[in-house]
Structure 1
C-alpha cells in the first residue's frame, strides 16, 4: 500500500507542475521524480523534459536510463521509461553514444499468455536514430545488425534510421533486406528509404518486386505488392506514375487494383490525376467508383472535387459521388 501511495503522491505533484515545469517548484518536482523507481511516472517526466527542452536534466535522464536497464522487465515493464528517455535524449541532441548503444542492443522479454514477448523493439529503433544523429562512427554496423533483428518493428526502425542518415552506405543494406524478403510493412519502409537515398537507381528494383509479389498471387504476397505500390507513390517521383499505371492495368485482384489507384492519386502529379479523371469519365463502373474513392483524398480541394462530381454526373450509369 505504501508503494501505491508513493506513486499516487508523485503523480499528484507532477500534475500540479506539468503546465509550468520550469518554475522553482516544477524543477524540484522533476528532480524528485527522476530519482524514483516508478517507471510510469518517470516516463511522463522524461517526455515533459523533452517538450520543454530542459537540457539541465540530461545527466539525470542518463542516470535513470541506466537504472531502468537493471532488472529491466521488473523495473520498467513495457520499456516505457527507457523509451521516453531515449526519445528525449534524441530530441535534445545528446552526443554520448553509451545509452544509445545500450538501447539498440536491449532485448526485454516479458511474460504473456502462452510465452514471452519482446517489448524493446521500438527502443532499439529510437536509439538507432540517436546514433545516426550524433554521427556515431560505427552506426552502419549497428544498423546492419538491426536490419536483421527478429522483430519487424526494430527492422522498420533500422530502415528509417538509414534513410535519416542520408548515407550511400545504407543503400546495399536496404537492397539486401528487400531481396531477401520481409513482411509488407518492413518492405515498405525499406523501399521508402531506398527511393529517398537513391531514387532513380532504385526504381527498377521496386518495379521488379512489384510484379514479383503480384504474380505470386497469394494473400500475403498481394499485401506486399500493395505495400510496394504505396511506397513507390510516397516517393512522389514522376517516373513512378508510368510504373504504377502499367502495373495496375495488369492486376486482376479488385482490392489490389483499388490500392493501385490510391497510390496513383497519392503521387499528386497532373498526369496521374488526369488518368484518374479519365476513369471516372469513361472507365467501367467498378473502376470509376475506385477512382472516385482514390480521388477522395482531395475532397478539401473544392475545384478538383467539383470536377470529379461533374464527370460522375455525366455518366449514364449508377456511378455517383456520395
Structure 2
C-alpha cells in the first residue's frame, strides 16, 4: 500500500478515537500508531496521550522518540514527532533525564532553498523545561549551554526554563546573555526572567537597557522595546514609574507608542489612571495613542465606559472617532 494511503488510514484511526482515547480500543490504536514510522500520525497520537493522561503509554513514547532520532531528517522531518513526544512527556512529568538530555542536545539540519535550517530549537527548549521539572542536578549547565545556542528560539527556551526553575543560579547566566547582546525577542525573555528571579537586583539593568545606557548588538529602538516589553509583562509595581518616566523622556513616535502600550499592559490602577489622564488632558496625538493602548481593556465594560466618559467630556470629535473605531475593531 502506498505510504500516503497508510498515513491517511492512520490519521483516520486517530480521528475515530479522539472522543475517547482512554478507552481500550483507543489505547490499542494509540499503541499501534506510536509504533509506526509516520511522524505526523505519531505527533497527533502523542497529543492524545497527553490529553487523556495515559501514563501506561509512556514506554511507547520513549521508544518512538529514540526511533525518530535515527536518520531524523528523513524519519521525522520538521522534528514534529519528537517535539510532540517531548511535550507530552513533560506534561506527564516523566522523570528520566536520558530522553530530555538527548532532546536538549539534538540538532536537526534540514535542506532548504540555498542551504539548511535547524528544525529542532523548539525541541531543545521543551526538553530544557523537562529537565527543570524533574530537578536534574546539572540542569544549569545544560541551560547555560542552551543560552549560547545558535538559534534564537532555543535561547528563548533557555531563558524561560531558567525562569521556571526559580533558581537564582540562573541570574548570572541571564545577565551575561543580556550584556553580550542578542535579538530583541531573546533579550526581552532574558530580562523578563531576571525580573521574575531577582526583581530588585535586576531593575537597574533593565533600566540601562531601556535607556540604551549599555551597548548591544541591537539598534537603540529595538533594545528599548525589548526592555519595555519585559517590564510590562513582569507586572511589577516598580515597572510603572520606570515606564512612565521613560515614555515622558522620549520623542520617537514608534517608541512612544510602544511605551504607552506597555503601560496599559501592566493593568495596574496607577497605570490606568495615568492613561485616563492622558486621554483627558494630553495633546491630541498622545491622547489618541492612549485610547488605542486602552483598547486591550475593551472587554472590561466598566473600564471602557470610563474611557468613553473621559473622551465625551473632552468634546473632541477626532478622539471620539478614534474611540468608536477601537470599539468596532475589538468588539466586532
Q: Distance in 2 between matches of 1:100 and 1:125?
A: 10
Q: Distance in 1 between matches of 2:30 and 2:181?
A: 46
Between stretches 120-129 and 229-238, larger displacement belongs to: 229-238
Q: Which residue of 1 aligns with 2:283?
A: 284
Q: Which residue of 2 aligns with 1:256?
A: 255
Contact 1:213-1:224 within 8 A present in 2 as well: no
Q: Normalising to structure 1: TM-score of the pair?
A: 0.96
CA RMSD of aligned residues (A): 1.7
Q: How does 1:84-233 map to 2 (within 5 A)?
A: 84-212=84-212, 220-233=219-232
Q: How many pairs does the alignment contain?
A: 321
Deviation at 1:144, TM superposition (A): 0.1
Contact 2:110-2:119 within 8 A present in 1 as well: yes
Q: Which residue of 2 aligns with 1:294?
A: 293
Q: Which residue of 1 aligns with 2:307?
A: 308
Deviations 1:138-187 (A, max 9, x none): 00000000000000000000000000000010011001101111111001
Q: Which residue of 2 aligns with 1:72?
A: 72
Q: Distance in 1 between matches of 2:51 and 2:213?
A: 43
Contact 2:100-2:127 within 8 A present in 1 as well: yes
Deviations 1:266-322 (A, max 9, x none): 122222111111110110100000011111111122222122112222225432221
SS in 1 for 2:211: helix
Q: Assess, with a 3 A threshold, how the Cα gap between structure 1 residues 72 and 219 changes in structure 2: closer, same or farther.
A: closer
Deviations 1:189-218 (A, max 9, x none): 1111111001111111000110007999x9
Deviation at 1:2, TM superposition (A): 2.4
Q: Which residue of 2 aligns with 1:234?
A: 233
Contact 1:213-1:225 within 8 A present in 2 as well: no
Q: Distance in 2 between matches of 1:88 and 1:319?
A: 49
Q: Distance in 1 between matches of 2:214 and 2:198?
A: 24
Any gaps of 5 or more consecutive residues in structure 2? 325-332
Between stretches 288-297 and 221-230, larger displacement belongs to: 221-230
Q: Which residue of 1 aligns with 2:6?
A: 6
Contact 2:124-2:154 within 8 A present in 1 as well: yes
Q: Assess, with a 3 A threshold, how the Cα gap between structure 1 residues 316 and 29 changes in structure 2: closer, same or farther.
A: closer
Deviations 1:110-161 (A, max 9, x none): 0001110000000000000000001111000000000000000000000000
